[in-house]
Structure 1
Amino acid sequence: MKSLATLALLASAFLGYSLGVCPQTALGQSAAAENDAKQYAAMVQRSVDYLRQHGQADDGSFSGTTGIGPTGLVISGLLSVGIMPQDPMVAKGLKYLEEHAQTDGGIYTLDSKHRNYDTCIAILALSKANQNQRYEALLDKAEAFVKGIQWDEGEGKQPSDPFYGGAGYGSHSRPDLSNTTFLVDALQSLGNGPEDEAIQKALEFVSRCQNLESPANNTEFAAKVNDGGFYYTVAAGGESKAGEEPNGGLRSYGSMTYAGLKSMIYAGVGKEDKRVQAATDFLRKHYDLESNPGVGQQGLFYYYHTMAKALDALDEPQFVDASGASHQWKSEMRAKLAEIQRPDGSWVNDTARWMEGDPNLVTGYALLALAFCAPE
């Protein structure tokens, strides 16, 4: 008796023949698709096994000494690749996050200096697990908290101020694009669309972090590089993790450009907009899965997960680079992550800046990227 897999392959071949496709070609395509699915499932399973056996502490946290951020990322990653909220590992992690809900609505440890970051990441995880509105009240308070510490009139900032609309690590830290993109992600995960006032305020800050002169960006940095990419922050004198040009311009780099592009799309900015076109052109010139363009190996896995989210939001399954080469970015990213997964099932960055020497955090990033790269 033929196996189910064999019958499926034969059915695919027959369908291909009926559509005028060579049966051998149809069988080959089906076999390749089956291999892709098996590789993906094995990659995910190995990472889940690693986290289950080595990553989680007894209190449900992952790398809890650094705050709740890694736990939120890991749980969000696990839920994104199909692990259910009822799974014991996930349930323990969710309980850990829930236990860190504070009276002000934020979700963080009391000594945290990253209250926006921690709360936004917790929102991402809890919103994915919000079956039967279990976490609805908690999420409502968390949403109010992150909106409350966004830089706006409540902090004495007007729309003309470079701080305006941005989010920092906490209520008194300068805003940056990384924290702001997590804020937009969190609000989007709660069902907030482009009409949301906080998302539109965030768009004002995001637009000012782009190396592009536009009606939305008349800052001192807009024209100094003018390549369409994004940098870390325009606030408090500006900063790029990729450094400065001799003229004082702040250099664009990959992860922040994907973060900026994604945030603009979530805020309702269309492909015809000059800002989206310029950011996309920058990324076409710097399409790369070997490094985070502009900063090398630093923040590579943050880059992967942000890249996957942004290209999914851009809705271009085939991303054409500046040379005209067409990239099946989902399969290319799957292949890259398969190549660099460690034998124990985890991922880690040998360049440890921004905590990417932590296999729990990095495995969370990898799972979040894989969620957008599943074989179709």
Structure 2
Amino acid sequence: MMSLDLLSRVDNLWKELEIPVCMAAYVGEKYEEQDEKILVIGDGMYVAEEITPEQFYGNENGLSTGQQQWLNYRAAVKLRKSRFFRNIERSLKKAGYSMDDIAMFNFFQRPIAMHGAGDHKCVDAAIDIEMGMKTCHRAIELLCPTKVVVTSKKIMTLLETFHSRYFSDEFWTFAEKTNFKYIWVSHPSSLHWNKSQPGQLYSSRERFENFITHGQERFRSLSEQFQTAIDRRDLDELIRLAKDFQAEVDFMDRKRKGKCGVVKTAEDEEKYVINCKKARIAKKANKVCVVITDLLQRCLSDIRQVQETVVPSLDNLHQEEIKMEMTIRRKMAHKDAEIEIDKFKEEFAQEDVVREQVEKGVNQISNVLNTQLAAIDALIASI
């Protein structure tokens, strides 16, 4: 049985984060008993009318009694009315688990408003991403899972892109230090759950089932298959099972040495490396944007100060001279900004496999640069 102490600590965490406790994580009754503790992270819940951040965060009485009942996450898991929960339950059963054995919560805590059939208003506000990041980090620390399944590519991207903004480590470094492995799968209620995506060998359902299968239940299953193969005197099946058994032993040995995780294929490893590179490029692009913004804002500030304090006392001739001087300053700031862009391009010049991400970073930086230059040009023109 799960200790009431864990549920109480989960509730206290949601209170500490000033999020309605009705959204607190579901923790199965047998979760704490498991050798492999599985945590599933969903995307969000839905409501008919939008609930504003002011109503939802840090507002103890922001939700009505009816809203709290509708948004009771634990009740939703136990009722399992949605295809999301039912599909997860089916896959858990195949691997020898039940809903009682796992923990679950959503990344987006504030519900998503629906404005008609299939018309979802996504929760993408900065506060929602920030609270989702803090909820995931703190809940993982509290629940101590060994395996985390993220049921949305979008949520996985957010975790790997923004985790270091709110905490000291990248998400994959946090996973390594906290000793859990993670994967993302398509939403269990989507059409992609049972279909493999381009470039993938398995469907999301198969990836989910393979990921959670390793561990004690896997040994039990292999033992049963061994016995059946022995009874049938099926030599080929025994050889295959022996290889599977050895792979599982190798996995458990890595776990014992603190390298808990699943056996990854070469394709998985390659994708992991590419995702890490993409996240690093995105992070560096954001830093370059900050540097360029700082450069051009200083130039803008200097021009504004001259415009307000010097220009009013000058005649037209001297105002033109000042305008020329300001144009020179603008060109110098632009040149410094271009140097930063060149450094960014040079740093990732050899990253052909993520060329699209590099180009995306350059476009992001260029947009910031052009916006700042337009503001400077407008100010110079007003002199």
Q: When the two structures are superposed, what TM-score results if normalisation uses the length of structure 2?
A: 0.25
Q: When the two structures are superposed, what TM-score results if normalisation uses the length of structure 1?
A: 0.25
More helix by share: 2
